[in-house]
Chain A
Amino acid sequence: MTPALRVAVIGSGPAGTYAAEGVLKQLPEAQVDVIDAGLSPFGLVRHGVAPDHLKIKSVTRVLARTLGSPRVRWFGGVRVGDRATGADLEMAELQRRYHAVVVATGAPRGRRLQVEGDHLSGSCTAADVVPWYNGHPDALPPLATRARSVVVVGAGNVALDVARVLLKGGADGLGETDLSDETLAEVRVLGAAEVHVVARRGPEDVKFGVAELRDLANLADVRLEVDPADFATAMPDDGTPVALLREWAQREAGTGERRIRFHFRRRVSRLHGTGGVESVALAAGPGAADPRPLVLSADLVVAAIGFRSEALSGLPYDEELGRIPNVAGRVVPGIYVAGWVKRGPQGVIGTNRLDAMETVAALVADAPVLAARSVDPGDIADLLARQGSSVFTWDDWLRLDAAELARGRDRGKLRAKFAGRDRMLAALVGSGSSEALTGAARPC
């Protein structure tokens, strides 16, 4: 018989959910409580994966099997941190009640450009914009209500997602998504028609995926502008991102009124504007085809240059690496990490399965020691109820899920979300709530 451990997992994105799945499978007597600050499960699958990538989002089918298991309880709307700043629970309280705690809180902060003008309204990060268009209850729309021209900085798929979603949305092309009517209207009014993608790297070093590049090529009436001078003479291998970019550079850009322009080997040197961003200055980096500086008009700048984890009160934190220090997922016996807070913001959804297995292996190795420790038998459900925290249960989620599916059916699509905390709550209980925003959303 395996030890009957009580395990808490913080975060119900892919990393936390695969960790929970691993614990269920490897410790058949264990019970798992999954705690999430959000009103919905699935983390970045819901709030990070682009809204037009519905096939990727369908991974929720598998994640829900774990979260809906009779051996799992899901506590939504519950924040773990420092009670002095409004958290519902503290790490120390979890450690008293559980044999093991797995932290899978991700990397929710966007890295900023840190150049002059970065404070202007209209200067956002992907961590502001992506949760907004994905209907995160605490996210805010950009302060710039109109943004015909957008500069997206970054050489990864997040940059391409932002470029594509804003361009599609500006032309009413996000019909086949799970977005709410309210968000669709906000993206349409923003009206992006021209997106500049700025990368420090050259085209041979970008982290763009072939699938994401092809998504751009499939946009109707959008010109893809790539400078042939950015390419080395050697022919790249077929099927690589650089081969695709080179192909675009060598053909006619097309006649669409809207466009995406790639700027390689350039960095943002400053943002100009009075009040809001009006233009973006680009400096040439090493190896740039054109060494002259360049100024682009833009109403909105989105830095998609990386994410950072947040420190969790009561645990060590490596400021330099932006994650919780650990060895193969073990912080100390009894405390573990999985996903981006463990290894940094990289990899695709599937990466988290292997990553969580490593963490669970560490936990299982410690299980005999952990089981010998007596824990407070008190139930966090009672504690949360006593202190008046509003908790969303798995049944609540299933009702919201059903309401979103029904709203989608009415609109001829798979799902339509509800935008904003109040509308989500109204869909759930039939009335809105005036509860203050608990997220750290920052208007930009």
Chain B
Amino acid sequence: MTYVVTAGCVDIRDKACVDVCPVDCIYEGDRKLYIQPDECIDCGACSAACPQAAIFFDEAVPTDQQWFVDDAVGFFSEVLPGRAEPLGMPGGAEFVGAIGVDTPAVAALERAT
């Protein structure tokens, strides 16, 4: 189980969640943030801090946004565009800085006009 950042974050990236994450497991993509599911300790601080209410416990993600659960797994297990290997478990976002790219599915989301 883990918490998951969903559609409400896309192109907003408020990042209030980053400051409250006790294990620094929220990584910054280009258009949204991603929680490393194996580093997340399920504390829920991010969910309470998000002004967009975009972060849900995985079992409670609204049905139409369920795909963000697997998408977050892919952000760390798949090789992202322009990178040589998967991010894996960096052990803290402070060690890697902003990642600057998204999963293909998030990159393909339509932009609000």
List chain A positions with a Cβ less than 8 A from chain B. Answer: 14, 18, 53, 55-59, 61-62, 209-211, 214, 238-239, 347-354, 357
Nearest to A347 among chain B residues (CB) is B45
Tell whether, in the assembled complex, residue B42 and residue A350 are in contact, meaning their CB atoms are under 8 Å apart: no
Q: Judge if B70 is at the interface, Cβ distance under 8 Å.
A: no
- Evaluate whether A350 and B22 lie within 8 angstroms (CB atoms) in the complex, with A59-B41, A211-B57 already known: yes
Given A61-B23, A350-B22, A352-B22, A239 and B41 touching (CB < 8 A)? no
Contact A353 B62, beta carbon cutoff 8 Å: no
Q: Say yes or no: is B48 at the interface (Cβ < 8 Å to chain A).
A: yes
CA distance A238 to B66 in the complex (A): 14
Q: Smallest CB–CB gap between B26 and chain A, Å?
A: 10
C-alpha gap A353/B41 in the complex (Å):
14
Listed by A's residue number, 26 A-B pairs whose Cβ atoms lie within 8 Å are A53-B42, A55-B42, A57-B41, A59-B43, A61-B23, A62-B92, A210-B57, A210-B60, A211-B1, A211-B42, A211-B57, A214-B59, A238-B62, A239-B56, A348-B43, A348-B45, A349-B22, A349-B41, A349-B43, A349-B45, A350-B21, A350-B44, A350-B45, A350-B49, A351-B20, A353-B45
Q: How far is the CA of A369 from the CA of B61 in the complex (A)?
A: 50
Cβ contacts under 8 Å, B62 to chain A: 238-239
Tell me, rounded to whole Å, the shortest Cβ–Cβ distance linking A115 to chain B: 32
- Which 6 residue pairs across A and B have the least CB separation, nearest first? A350-B45, A350-B20, A350-B22, A239-B60, A349-B22, A348-B43
CB-CB under 8 A from A210, the residues of chain B are: 57, 60
What chain A residues lie within 8 Å of B1 (beta carbons)?
55, 211
Residue among B23, B41, B60 having the largest count of chain A Cβ atoms under 10 Å: B41
A227 to B99, CA, bound (A): 49
Tell me the residues in window 23-37 of chain B with beta carbons closer than 8 Å to chain A beta carbons: 23-24
Min CB gap B4→A, angstroms: 12
Q: Report the separation of the CA atoms of residues A56 and B1 in the bound assembly, to the nearest whole angstrom.
A: 11
Bound complex: CA A370 to CA B45 (Å): 33
A56 touches B21 (CB 8 A): no
Report whether B22 and A59 are in contact in the complex, using a CB–CB cutoff of 8 Å. yes
Total chain B interface residues with beta-carbon distance under 8 A: 21
Q: Give the CA-CA distance A352 to B1 in the complex, in Å.
A: 22
Question: Considering the chains assembled together, what is the distance between the CA atoms of A314 and B48 in angstroms?
Answer: 36
Which of these, A214, A238, A353, contacts B21 with CB under 8 Å?
A353
Indicate if B5 sits at the interface (CB-CB under 8 A).
no
**B46 touches A (CB below 8 Å):** yes
Contacts of A357 in B (CB 8 A): 19
Residues of A within 8 A of B23 (CB): 59, 61-62
Q: How far is the CB of A50 from chain B (nearest CB, A)?
A: 12
Query: Nearest CB to that of A209 among chain B residues?
Result: B44
- Contact (Cβ within 8 A) B57 A56: no
Closest Cβ–Cβ distance, residue B12 to chain A (whole Å): 19
For the complex, give the distance between the alpha carbons of A354 and B41 in Å.
Answer: 17
Q: Flag if B56 contacts A58 (CB, 8 Å).
A: no
Cα-based distance from A357 to B16 in the complex (angstroms): 13
- In the complex, what's the smallest C-beta–C-beta distance from A175 to chain B, in angstroms? 19
Is the beta-carbon distance between A14 and B57 smaller than 8 angstroms? no
| Contact indicator A56/B43 (Cβ below 8 Å) | yes
Q: List, in ascending order, chain B residues with CB within 8 A of A238's CB.
A: 62
Which B residues are CB-close (under 8 A) to A350?
A: 20-22, 43-46, 49
- Select the residue from A18, A62, A352 with max chain B CB neighbours within 10 A: A62
Contact A58 B41 (CB under 8 A): yes
B42 partner residues in chain A, CB cutoff 8 A: 53, 55-56, 211
Beyond contacts A62-B22, A211-B42: 13 other A-B pairs, Cβ-Cβ < 8 A, are A18-B22, A55-B42, A59-B22, A59-B41, A59-B43, A211-B44, A239-B56, A239-B62, A349-B22, A349-B45, A350-B49, A351-B45, A353-B22
A contact residues around B57 at 8 Å (CB): 210-211
